[in-house]
A and B are shown apart, each in its own frame.
Chain A
Amino acid sequence: MLEVLLPNVDWEKMIEATKETLYMTSISVVATFFIGILLGLFLFLTGKGNMWQNRTVNGIISAVVNIFRSIPFIILIVLLIPFTKALVGSMIGENAALPALIIGAAPFYARMVEIGLREIDKGVIEAAKSMGAKTSTIIWKVLLPESMPALVSGITVTSIALVGYTAMAGVIGAGGLGNLAYLEGYQRSQNDVTLVATIVILIIVFVIQIIGDVITSKLDKR
């Protein structure tokens, strides 16, 4: 039945490509999560009226974040070719996509982290200070737990964007479903391959969204 409807789909290749996409996505999501939170915390803490208020540092981080957030991803990959070659040693394969994926997504997520942190009631931070809390205690016990639903829903959105980015990275040789859809589907005029690759990507996106929503609502006790 499937062979009649989708004559050109090589299921083994499809599964292999799905694994590659999942690999690129999960590694880059984890790295983006940590780097983004770190950058977001710095953006927040050096901002006006906060514990490490510092206009210069805040301005620099803010500028870097804005620059990398503004470069279209496909151009970012090209710009990063020398960097990737030095780091990974190759331009081909799923690992070669990771630097661009992380550098493209972390600043985007950092802004979401900053917004999430800004939404924390200032009074709660003041209360922690009035109890004699150190800044590190405030970060670990107030800022991160109180913004966790925003951090999780932010990483959900970012993960979905990353799935899209991996497809773009695939076009220039990074492997995964985007690569398969482009080489086997588009270039060889096998529309059924493109269709199946698209459906698999949609399924991945839906699953990420559902997981993200469930975790967010579990965490949110407001």
Chain B
Amino acid sequence: MITLTKVSKLFRTGKNNSETIRAVNNVNIEINKGEIFGIIGYSGAGKSTLIRMLNGLETPTEGSVVVADKEISKIKGAKLRKARQEISMIFQHFNLLWSRTVQDNISFPLEIAGVAKPERMKRVNELIKLVGLEGRENAYPSQLSGGQKQRVGIARALANDPKVLLCDEATSALDPQTTDSILELLVDINQRLGLTIVLITHEMHVIRKICHRVAVMENGQVVEQGPVLDVFRNPREEMTKRFVQQVTEPEETKETMDHLFERFPGGKVIQLTFVGDHAESPLITKLVRNFELDVNIVQGKISQTRSGSYGTLFIHLDGTEDEMLRAIEFIKAQQVGVEVITHA
């Protein structure tokens, strides 16, 4: 559905445009129809520029961008405007027209597409039901909560039956609960309408919750990409590891570890990583039954992704050195990731 080939974007800045910044650097991405594809990176990583090239708000300096069989990076004028009606976008700050009511905001893209009034009204009503805004048709954006505003944004984006939905940090201005309800709505429309969704975010939580595949961006480059569960299980780049930690490790981990090393100078602290079905097997019971060890559960967390669960568990083992090594071998044989944490 979307193919990015060797896409780069240079910006000229400074006096007399003497300096160039490579906002996006040689990016290759292939996104399938019906997929939810996430692009994660910190601010300044180039993800905003990248997503804006998908609907021609930015044009690449090099490379080609093909969306729904149209080469967005080449077409201009009326053709580009027509193509944009198939590639909708929702925004971090919603970007609704304050001067229009909810239904008039949703009607706006239909007016642009030249849809007749009776048909517009009918479509607007369907969309209002789809995003769950019944009863707020005549409210102005200023009278809505953040979550409701984003629902209007989504309804507006769906008005012209697009093939692709671009989400520019669509949940970053929302509280966690509202974020979840908007993400559920996105999954719902993805499944119901078979819509391809591309989203950019700096929150791994969003990727974990709804994405099928993810690309990690740093300094304009995609440093890692693949199915979400694979990236969680096996993050190769430092940047990716940091993002994965956002969701797998509670923030206090480091403090807890320090405390633990103080209390139990002997023994070992081990981080176990479970993926998919193994996340549910009774490993701890087996450890206690089969080995002469004290097992102390420090903390753990299981995260659900679209294609399976992913968990981390920190335990403290105490016993003879041999017994501990045997236990670690045993755990490895269970296809569970093991990492011995040393005192920092």
Residues in chain A within 8 A of chain B (CB atoms): 121, 123-124, 126-134, 137, 141-142, 145-146, 148, 219, 221-222
In angstroms, how far is the closest chain A Cβ from the Cβ of B75? 12
B113–A121 touching, CB < 8 Å: no
Which residues of chain A are near B166, meaning CB under 8 Å?
130
Residues of A within 8 Å of B142, CB to CB, are: 221-222
User: Which residues in window 251-303 of B have CB below 8 A to A?
Assistant: none
Residues of the A chain whose Cβ atoms lie less than 8 Å from the Cβ of B93: 121, 123
Residues of B within 8 A of A137 (CB): 111-112
B97 lies within 8 A of A126 (CB):
no
Segment among B15-23, B81-89, B118-126, B327-335 that sits at the interface with chain A: B81-89
Q: Which residues of A contact B141 (CB under 8 A)?
A: 221
Q: List 16 A-B contacts (CB under 8 A).
A: A124-B95, A124-B96, A124-B97, A126-B57, A126-B95, A127-B96, A130-B84, A130-B89, A131-B88, A132-B81, A132-B109, A132-B112, A134-B81, A141-B111, A221-B98, A222-B98
Q: Could you tell me how many residues of chain B have their Cβ less than 8 Å away from some Cβ of chain A?
A: 30
| Known contacts A126-B95, A127-B95, A145-B99; A133/B89 CB under 8 A | no
8 extra interface residue pairs, beta carbon distance < 8 Å, beyond A126-B57, A132-B85: A128-B108, A130-B88, A132-B112, A134-B81, A142-B97, A221-B99, A222-B98, A222-B142
Number of A-B contacts defined by CB within 8 Å: 67
Q: Is the CB of A146 within 8 A of B98?
A: yes
In Å, the complex CA distance between A124 and B98 comes to 9
Across-interface contacts of A127 in B (CB, < 8 A):
89, 91, 95-96
Q: 8 smallest A-B Cβ distances: which pairs?
A: A132-B84, A127-B95, A132-B81, A123-B95, A221-B140, A131-B109, A130-B89, A145-B99
Contact A131 B85 (CB under 8 A): yes
Q: Cβ of B98: which chain A residues have Cβ within 8 Å of it?
A: 146, 221-222
- Which residues of chain B in 125-143 are interfacial with respect to chain A, using CB atoms and an 8 Å cutoff? 140-142
The chain A residue with its CB closest to the CB of B101 is A221
In whole angstroms, how far apart are the Cα atoms of A3 and B51 in the complex?
77
Q: Does B55 contact A (CB under 8 A)?
A: yes
> How far, in angstroms, from A148 to B97 measured CA to CA in the complex?
12
Chain A nearest CB from B221 CB (Å) reads 25
Most-contacted residue by chain B among A127, A131, A141 (CB, 10 A): A131
CB distance from A144 to the nearest CB of B (A): 9
A131 touches B96 (CB 8 A): no
Question: B84 is contacted by which of A123, A131, A141, A148 (Cβ under 8 Å)?
Answer: A131
Interface status of B6 (Cβ within 8 A of chain A): no
* B residues in contact with A129, CB < 8 Å: 57, 84
For A130, the closest partner residue in chain B by CB is B89
What chain B residues lie within 8 Å of A134 (beta carbons)? 81, 112
B306 is an interface residue with CB less than 8 A from chain A: no
Smallest CB-CB separation from B78: which chain A residue?
A134
Q: Pick from A121, A130, A142: contact of B55, CB below 8 A.
A: A130
Among A121, A130, A134, A222, residue most surrounded by chain B Cβ atoms (within 10 Å): A130
Residues of A contacting B97 in the complex (Cβ-Cβ under 8 angstroms)? 124, 142, 145-146
Q: Give bound CA distance, A146 to B81, whole Å.
A: 22
Contact of B113 among A126, A128, A132 (CB under 8 A): A132
B209 in the interface (beta carbon within 8 A):
no
